[in-house]
């Protein structure tokens, strides 16, 4: 198994227990959010293709409550509505379906 596949499997395992943000995953793995992003997106696609349910609590502005789309897995920089930068990160979880 190649290194990238093993890492993505590890991401799927970590996301199977509780909701996690990209930042918390990166911290735990000793990486930056940007380094985790591509592998995280790929792991989510793989999990979806394997029949698992992907749950995403979208990013949200702490100031005005604007809710971002579920397609964002990293914390946005600014709110498009109020231009605030105080944002909740998206939270992701994978619910594995039994075989």
pLDDT tens-digit profile of 68-86? 998 888 889 999 999 999 9
Burial 52-66 (b: 16+ CB within 10 A, else e): beeebebbbbeeeeb
DSSP, collapsed to helix, strand or coil, labels residue 10 as helix
Q: Note the pLDDT of residue 38.
A: 86
Domain count, the chain: 1
The pTM (predicted TM-score) of the whole model is 0.84
pLDDT tens-digit profile of 48-69? 999 999 999 999 999 999 999 9
What's the domain range around 72?
A: 3-95
The chain-wide mean pLDDT, for the chain, equals 89
């Amino acid at each position: 198994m190649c290194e990238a596949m093993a890492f993505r499997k590890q991401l799927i395992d970590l996301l199977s227990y509780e909701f996690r943000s990209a930042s918390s995953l990166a911290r735990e793995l000793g990486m930056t959010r940007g380094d985790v992003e591509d592998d995280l997106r790929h792991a989510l696609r793989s999990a979806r293709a394997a029949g698992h349910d992907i749950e995403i609590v979208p990013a949200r502005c702490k100031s005005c409550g604007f809710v971002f789309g579920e397609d964002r897995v990293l914390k946005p920089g600014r709110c498009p509505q109020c231009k605030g930068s105080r944002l909740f990160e998206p939270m992701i979880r994978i619910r594995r379906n039994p075989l």
